[in-house]
């Protein structure tokens, strides 16, 4: 599940975490599937990227005309 914002803040990350926690309740047909989260922003408020990373979320940001994943190669995403 991906949360995309023009300006990404810590509260946006917290909202996504809440949605991820409720996902299987609303979509029980996916109970046996792996569920990962990601946040993306054109502008990322200070600290929001670090917070999302520490919560086990992928962090995506605009890089010119493309999008890049900011997580390092050692990152271990959380499976909700």
Per-residue pLDDT of the chain (80 residues; tens, 9 = 90+): 999 999 999 999 999 999 999 999 999 999 999 999 999 999 999 999 999 999 999 999 988 899 999 999 999 999 99
Given this model, what pLDDT does residue 63 score? 86
With respect to residue 16, please indicate whether it lies within any of the assigned structural domains: yes
Residue 61: inside a domain = yes
Instruction: Give the C-alpha separation, 4 to 2, whole Å.
Output: 6
Domain that holds residue 15: 2-69
Number of helices followed by number of strands (H, E) in the chain = 2, 4
Q: Which helix (H) or strand (E) holds 57?
A: none
Would 74 be classed as within a structural domain?
Answer: no
Structure confidence at residue 29 (pLDDT): 96
Q: How many domains in the chain?
A: 1
């Amino acid at each position: 599940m991906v949360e995309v914002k023009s300006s990404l803040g810590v509260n946006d990350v917290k909202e996504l975490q809440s949605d991820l926690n409720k996902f299987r309740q609303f979509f029980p047909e996916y109970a046996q599937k792996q569920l990962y989260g990601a946040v993306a922003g054109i502008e990322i408020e200070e600290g929001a990227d670090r917070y999302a990373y520490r919560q086990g979320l992928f962090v995506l940001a605009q890089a010119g005309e493309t999008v890049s994943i900011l997580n390092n190669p050692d990152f271990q995403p959380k499976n909700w």
